[in-house]
C-alpha cells in the first residue's frame, strides 16, 4: 500500500527521499467533464486529486451536457490555458480527451476521470451523458476511466463527493487496477454529508421512462422554439440498480461496456434473417 505522504514526497520530487522507488507509481490523471472548465465539480475533483497524482485538466470551454461521444470534425479546435492552469477547448468532452490522447499530451495518462457532473447519470442517461462520453473516450483508447456524477443538481455536499472520488481512485490504484487492462466505471454519489454517504454498491443500470414532452415557446421574433424536455423518471429502480442504491444513500458503481451488440438476440435474428432470405413463413 502506498501512503499518502509518499505521494506528496514524490510529487515534490524530494531528492533526499528514501521512497523514490515508489515514485514510478504516481498516477498521471487526465480530468475532463461536460459542464465546462469553470464548473464547481471539476474544480473540486482537481483539488481532491492534485496531491495524490499528476493531474492535467482539459475540459470544454462551455457546457456540453448530453453531448455523449460527439467529436467535432467540421471545424478546428483551439486549446487555451486558464489562469488556474486548466486547459479549455471549444469542443465536446470527447474532443478534449481525444486530442489529449492523440497529440496534445506528450505522455499517456494512467487514468481518465470525468466530472464531477452536476446531476445524476444513471440508467439511460449514460447513453447521452457527456460526462460518460469523456470517460468512454479514454476507455476506447485503452485507458481505465471513471465518470463521477452527483445525483442532484445543486452542488450540495460537493466536497464530500470529491473526497469519495479521491478515496475510490486511491483504492483502485492501491489494488494496482489502474495499470491493468482498461475498464470503464460509472459512479453516482448522493448529495449527502461525507459521514452520511453509504458504501460503494456495485449496480446494474436502471431504466428511465422516455423523456418528458418537448417544451414549445414563441421566440421574440415570432418563431416557434422547441426545448428538449426533462429526462424521464425512473422506470426500473429495482434493488440492484443505480437508482435504488443512490436513493438509499449509497454510491452506485456500474462497470460499462461499449459493445452495443444485442448478444441475447443474435440467435433470434439469425433465424429471422434466414427466413427473410428463403422466403419461408417464419411467423
Q: How remote is the C-alpha of 107 from its chain's centroid?
A: 21
- Interatomic CA distance for residues 138 and 86, integer angstroms: 18
Q: CB of 190 within 8 A of CB of 197?
A: yes
Binding mask 165-204 for Mn ion (x = CB under 5 A): ----------------------------------------
How far apart (Å, rounded) are the C-alpha atoms in residues 246 and 125?
Answer: 15
Q: How far is the CB of 119 from Mn ion (least distance, A)?
A: 6
Q: How far is the CB of 35 from Mn ion (least distance, A)?
A: 4
* Cβ-contact 269, 277 below 8 angstroms: no
**154 versus 239: smaller Cβ distance to Mn ion:** 154
Which residue lies nearer to Mn ion by CB, 30 or 172? 30
211 within 8 A of 228, measured Cβ to Cβ: yes
**Spatial separation of the C-alpha atoms in residues 125 and 128, rounded to whole Å:** 5
The distance of closest approach from Cβ of residue 97 to Mn ion in the complex, given in angstroms and rounded to an integer, is: 15
Q: Pseudo-torsion of CA 135, 139, 143, 146, nearest 10°?
A: 40
Q: Give the x-and-dash track for 40-79 against Mn ion (CB under 5 A).
A: -------------------------x--------------
User: Taking the chain, what is the end-to-end CA distance rounded to the nearest angstrom?
Assistant: 61
C-alpha distances (whole Å) from 106 to each of 28, 38, 63 are: 12, 24, 27
By C-beta, is 150 or 252 nearer to Mn ion?
A: 150
Which residue's CB is nearer to Mn ion, number 20 or number 72? 72
User: Residue 6 or 46: which CB sits closer to Mn ion?
Assistant: 46
Q: How far is the CB of 65 from Mn ion (least distance, A)?
A: 3
Measured from each CB, the residue nearest to Mn ion is: 65
Give the footprint of Mn ion on residues 16-45 (CB under 5 A). Answer: 34-35
According to DSSP, the β-strands at 111-118 and 79-81 are: unpaired
For Mn ion, the binding residues in 95-154 under the rule CB under 5 A are 117
Give the binding site for Mn ion (CB under 5 A): 34-35, 65, 117
Amino acid at each position: 500500500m502506498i501512503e499518502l505522504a509518499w505521494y506528496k514526497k514524490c510529487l515534490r520530487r524530494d531528492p533526499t527521499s528514501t521512497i523514490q522507488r515508489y515514485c514510478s507509481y504516481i498516477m498521471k490523471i487526465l480530468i475532463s467533464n461536460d459542464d465546462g472548465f469553470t464548473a464547481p465539480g471539476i474544480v473540486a475533483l482537481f483539488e481532491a486529486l492534485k496531491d495524490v497524482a499528476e493531474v492535467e485538466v482539459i475540459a470544454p470551454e462551455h457546457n456540453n451536457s448530453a453531448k455523449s461521444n460527439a467529436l467535432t470534425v467540421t471545424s478546428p479546435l483551439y486549446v487555451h490555458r486558464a489562469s488556474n492552469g486548466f486547459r479549455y477547448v471549444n469542443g465536446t468532452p470527447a474532443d478534449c480527451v481525444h486530442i489529449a490522447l492523440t497529440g496534445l499530451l506528450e505522455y499517456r495518462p494512467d487514468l481518465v476521470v470525468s466530472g464531477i457532473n452536476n446531476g445524476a447519470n444513471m440508467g439511460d442517461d449514460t447513453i447521452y451523458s457527456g460526462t460518460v462520453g469523456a470517460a468512454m473516450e479514454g476507455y476506447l483508447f485503452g485507458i481505465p476511466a471513471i465518470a463521477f456524477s452527483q445525483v442532484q443538481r445543486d452542488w450540495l455536499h460537493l466536497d464530500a463527493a470529491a473526497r469519495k472520488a479521491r478515496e475510490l481512485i486511491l483504492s483502485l490504484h492501491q489494488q494496482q487496477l489502474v495499470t491493468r487492462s482498461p475498464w470503464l466505471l460509472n459512479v453516482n454519489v448522493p448529495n449527502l454529508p461525507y459521514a452520511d454517504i453509504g458504501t460503494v454498491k456495485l449496480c446494474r443500470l436502471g431504466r428511465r421512462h422516455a423523456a418528458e414532452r418537448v417544451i414549445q415557446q414563441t421566440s421574440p421574433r415570432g418563431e416557434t422554439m422547441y426545448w428538449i424536455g426533462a429526462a424521464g423518471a425512473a422506470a426500473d429502480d429495482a434493488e440492484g440498480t443505480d437508482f435504488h442504491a443512490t436513493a438509499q444513500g449509497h454510491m452506485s458503481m456500474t462497470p460499462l461496456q461499449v459493445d452495443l451488440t444485442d448478444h441475447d438476440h443474435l440467435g433470434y435474428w439469425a433465424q429471422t434473417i434466414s427466413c427473410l432470405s428463403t422466403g419461408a413463413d417464419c411467423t
